[in-house]
Amino acid sequence: MKTRILAAAVLSAFSLAASMSAFAQDKTLRLITWADYVPKDVQEQFTKETGYTVEITLSNNEEMISKLRATGGAGFDLAQPSQDRITGPQREFNLYKPFDLGKIKSELFIASMLDATKKNTTLDGKVYGLPHIWGTDGLVVNTKLAKMADYPDLCKAEFKGKTAVRLKRPTLLALAFAQGKDPFALYNDPKAYSALMDEVGKSLAACKPNLKFFWDNKDQLLNGIRTGEIVGAMMWDTGGWKLNADNPEIQYIAPKSGAMGWIDTFALPAKGRNDAAAYAWINFNMRPEIAAKVAASAGNFTASKGADQLMDAKLKSQFAASFPDAALKAIRWYPAVPPGIEEIEGRVLDRVKAAN
C-alpha cells in the first residue's frame, strides 16, 4: 500500500511538473524574424499586455527555410519569410500551416496589400502568409559624382571600379527588366527562363570591371558610398534614405525599369506549439501605433492601416521624393518562386563569380 501511495505521489509530482512546463511554454512566443523588426520597447509592451515572452532568432529567407526544413517545421511559433518564399517551399517541404483568418483583425491591414499577399501565398485554397513590412531595391547614387537612371548605368565605362551590386538573384532579375524582359512571366517555363538568365549573366559578367565589389555586408556598402569610393549601387531603399539624411547629394532612385518590391510576411511554422501567441503578436504588431514603432526601427513601411500617419516626417518626405506616382506603379513585386528557379539562378551566379 505504501509503495502504491509513494508511486502515486511521484507520478502526481511528475504530472504537475509537466503541466508547469507546458504552461511556461504556452507563455513563450518563439519568433524567427529579421534584424530590427522587434524593437525592445515593442517587445516589452507585448509581454506586459499579454503575458507572453518573446524568444527572438534573427535570420533571413534562406536560413528560415533551411532551419524549418531541418526540423519539419518545428522549433518556432511564427516566422517572417518574404511573400515569394512561401508557396514554393510549402509545396516542396510542407513547412507551414494555414492561417485561421477568423483570428486575424483584418481591419488593421491595408486592404489592397492584405488581399495581394493572401493571393500570392495561397496554396490549394489555403492562405499561408500575411503582410507585415515592405520595401524596395533600386539605385543609390551620389548625384554629385554620377548620373544614373536605370540599372545598366552601373556598367557605364565612366564608372569603372566605382559601383557595386550583390551577387544574388535580385540583381539578375533587375537587369532582366532593364533589358525589357519580364523574368517573372517565364517562371513556369524553365527552358526560356534559363536562356534569359544565361543572357543576363553574361551582361553581369561583362560588368565586373565596373564593380568595386559584390557586396554582402551592408556596412561595407554604406561606408563605400559615404567615402565616395562607390558612386552608385543597387541597394535597398532605407539604406539610401539613411545616407541621404547625412548627405543630400546621395539619393535613392527608383530605376526607370522599376524598383524591385518585396513584402516580408507572417507565417505559421507547421509544427509551432503556440498559435495563440502567434496570433496575438500579429494583431498587436498591426495596431497603427505599434506598427509605426516597428517601421521606424526597420526603416521601412508597413502593411498596417494608418501607421503611415504616425511615421517620421523625414522618412515620408524621402519616400515621396523617390516614388512619384509613376515610380510607385512601376514597382516589380516579387511573385512566388516556383521549384527549380533558384537552382537555375545559382548556376548563373556561380559562372559570373568565376568569370575573369
- Directed axis angle between helix 169-178 and helix 190-206, to 10°? 90
Minimal CA–CA distance to 287: which of 103, 32, 105? 105
247 burial via Cβ count (<10 Å: 0-12, 13-18, 19+): middle
Contacts of 56 (CB under 8 A, 6+ apart): 31, 33, 38, 43
CA gap 298, 314 in Å, rounded:
15
Regarding whether 146 and 124 lie in a shared domain, the answer is no
Regarding whether 126 and 191 lie in a shared domain, the answer is no
Domain membership of residue 309 as a residue range: 2-134+262-327
Regarding whether 302 and 213 lie in a shared domain, the answer is no
Minimal CA–CA distance to 281: which of 108, 67, 88, 93? 108
Regarding whether 247 and 206 lie in a shared domain, the answer is yes
CA gap 231, 333 in Å, rounded:
26
Give the pLDDT confidence of 243-272 residue by residue, as tens digits.
Answer: 999 999 999 999 999 999 999 999 999 999
Tell me if 272 sits within 8 A of 97, measured CB to CB.
yes
Regarding whether 343 and 211 lie in a shared domain, the answer is yes
pLDDT at 25: 53
Regarding whether 70 and 160 lie in a shared domain, the answer is no
Q: How many domains does the chain have?
A: 2
Regarding whether 287 and 144 lie in a shared domain, the answer is no
Regarding whether 130 and 7 lie in a shared domain, the answer is yes
CA gap 293, 156 in Å, rounded:
40
Q: Looking up cell 516589452, which residue turns up?
A: 44
Contacts of 314 (CB under 8 A, 6+ apart): 245
3-state secondary structure of 82: strand
- Directed axis angle between helix 275-285 and helix 40-50, to 10°? 120
Minimal CA–CA distance to 198: which of 348, 78, 53? 348
Tell me if 79 sits within 8 A of 130, measured CB to CB.
no
Q: Half-sphere exposure of residue 48, counting CA atoms within 13 Å on the CB side?
A: 6
Regarding whether 116 and 65 lie in a shared domain, the answer is yes
Regarding whether 297 and 345 lie in a shared domain, the answer is no
Regarding whether 341 and 199 lie in a shared domain, the answer is yes
- Supply φ then ψ for residue 354, to 5 degrees: -80, -20
Please give the chain's pLDDT, 356 residues, in tens: 444 444 444 444 444 444 444 444 589 999 999 999 999 999 999 999 999 999 999 999 999 999 999 999 999 999 999 999 999 999 999 999 999 999 999 999 999 889 989 999 999 999 999 999 999 999 999 999 999 999 999 999 999 999 999 999 999 999 999 999 999 999 999 999 999 999 999 999 999 999 999 998 889 999 999 999 999 999 999 999 999 999 999 999 999 999 999 999 999 999 999 999 999 999 999 999 999 999 999 988 999 999 988 988 888 899 889 998 899 889 999 988 988 999 999 999 999 999 98
Tell me if 32 sits within 8 A of 69, measured CB to CB.
no
Instruction: Report the CATH number that the domain containing residue 163 is assigned in CATH.
Output: 3.40.190.10
Regarding whether 171 and 307 lie in a shared domain, the answer is no
Give the residues across from 118 on adjacent strands: none
CA gap 196, 238 in Å, rounded:
30
